[in-house]
Chain A
Amino acid sequence: MQIFFNTILVGLSSGAIYALMSLAIVLVWRSTRVVNFAAAGQAILSTYIGYEAMTRMHNYWLSLPVAILAGALISALVEAIIMRPLAKRTKGTPVESIAPVIATLGVLGGIRSLAGLIWGNTFLQYTSPLSSKGYMIGHTTIPFSPQNAAIVVGAAVVLLLFAALFKFTRLGLALRAASFQPEISRLSGVRVDRVRTIGWAFAGAAGAVAGALVTPTTYLSPNSLDLLLVSGFVAAVIGGLESLIGAVVGGVVLGVGFAFILQYIGTSVTFSAAFIILIIVLLIRPQGIFGKGSSREA
């Protein structure tokens, strides 16, 4: 029984990180209908910037807002400088739907190389003052550390902030309207281009939170978040790509699922398990757990 609960705790923490990355993918999908493979690249760059802030300020907590702002800014720039002009230039051509996806792969590679050039392909330590050692309950150590707690709380806060923003603010209404019906939104006075850039910025912020929270539990290198991209993407698909709640539930389901596979089957299969879960979900319920049954009306 103890092992069972421990496994759930482990899964909850990694699931929270998957959920954040999944949010980053879903927010971009909702605003521009692009699958953003650059999400991991953007997150790694913002995490390096957070790392730089920490080495200067000697304070992990102060480095978090720096990383988050950097993540938002990087993502907004990627949208405004690369994705928007690309979408306009390829509109009506046969490559219209695939070109943006390929471009995000290009951005991912570009950012990774850039990070390698600046910081080297070595393992850096972006440390948090919170311990990564598990809490003690009685005489047993559980596999859930203060940093894991920060991860879960951080993910929950981000989700609640986004939920409130989307539900209760004008900007949230504009983001939703522009995602569903860009033309009607423009005719209603929504500056759709600007709103899309903001959607990307929010996604970048979510990815930055993921990077800055998870890195203290491992290490920092130009490709240390690549696996997270896969998990975040699978979580987003499980959640139906459209729904913020779906993204988070997808992340937690995947995290807990992984933890059980790791505990009861073994390390070697976890990565392939992600793809097996992805394919099973796509075959049985391609719209995801939270997606609408049929495709939306035009």
Chain B
Amino acid sequence: MTLIIEKLHVQHGAITAIDDLSFTINQGELVTIIGSNGAGKTTLLRALSGLLPVAGGRAEWKDKSILGERPEDLVRRGIVHVSEGKAVIPELSVAENLELGGIWRKDKRDIAAATAEVLELFPRLGERMKQGADTLSGGERQMLAIGRAMIARPELLLLDEPSLGLAPLIIDQIFAAVDALRHRLGLTVVLVEQNAMSALSIADRGIIINLGQLVISGTSADLLNDPALRSAYLGY
């Protein structure tokens, strides 16, 4: 087990956003967290990356607690969070956004190698390196956000709704890229999604949460083949 979440509890003021949530994720696994709006998916990721304080429970990555740590320190421990909504800095150029991902790293040679890998995966970014990130399309911004995360050489990638607001064709491209990355680099991925079909198509397992609590978890195949779940949570 590399990521262990046990009885995790997160409060938003008086509202309980994550309630007694427990699950584990193995090294190299891609697990998708599925749920409707307000289910607590984004809150969970923000708690895991140190952006939100946790009220109770345990969260460990490689046998060491990650609770109470700051996001900038967790990045140095290999935990990289691509936050919701095409998380790029529009005022900076594409090249600068990528450079930001490795800003804390000393190994300049490996930063260059990682950047080359990102540009190979997303050639459209390479054509737009000097442009401001504000000139990119939604899909390109999402590629840039993921690309920036990859420059940090993450071991645990937390992805928050990469499909949000994108056209189906672009969503397929993004998910194919995530799938390729994790197989090539042996990444452990937590993928938060509302687009359950796309997410389960590349995930090993799925965890369905509602109102901050775990509803059910299982392999992608099991979840996709459960008729009751399909109508209740997968929306078709």
- Residues of chain A touching chain B, judged by Cβ–Cβ distance below 8 Å, are 170, 173-174, 176-177, 180-181, 183-192, 296-297
Contacts and interface: CB of A to CB of B under 8 A. Distances in A.
Contacts of A185: 89, 100
Contact of B80 (A170, A187, A192, A296): A187
B103 A180 contact: no
A135 B105 CA distance: 52
The 6 closest A-B pairs by CB, nearest first: A189-B104, A189-B75, A186-B71, A180-B91, A188-B100, A181-B89
B42 interface: no
B152 A183 contact: no
Nearest to B99: A173
Contacts of B71: 186-187
Interface of B: 49, 51, 70-72, 75-76, 80-83, 87-92, 96, 99-101, 103-105, 134, 148, 152
Contacts, number: 69
A187 B87 contact: yes
A189 B89 CA distance: 14
A186 B52 CA distance: 13
A290 to B, nearest CB: 14
Nearest to B79: A187
A188 B51 contact: no
A29 to B, nearest CB: 15
B72 to A, nearest CB: 5
B96 A173 contact: yes
B72 A190 contact: yes
Contacts of A173: 92, 96, 99-100, 103
Nearest to B148: A188
B83 A180 contact: no
Contacts of B96: 173, 176-177
B88 A184 contact: yes
Contact of B103 (A174, A181, A296): A174
Given A170-B103, A173-B100, A190-B103, A184 B89 contact: yes
A176 B93 CA distance: 12
23 contacts: A170-B103, A173-B96, A173-B99, A176-B91, A176-B96, A177-B96, A177-B100, A177-B103, A180-B90, A181-B89, A184-B83, A184-B87, A184-B89, A185-B89, A187-B51, A187-B75, A188-B100, A188-B104, A189-B75, A189-B103, A190-B72, A190-B100, A297-B134
Nearest to B134: A297
Nearest to A180: B91
Contact of B104 (A180, A181, A190): A190
B83 A183 contact: yes
Contact of B91 (A174, A188, A296): A296
Contacts of B91: 176, 180, 296
Contacts of B152: 188-189
A190 B101 CA distance: 9
A192 B72 contact: yes
Contact of A187 (B83, B90, B134): B83
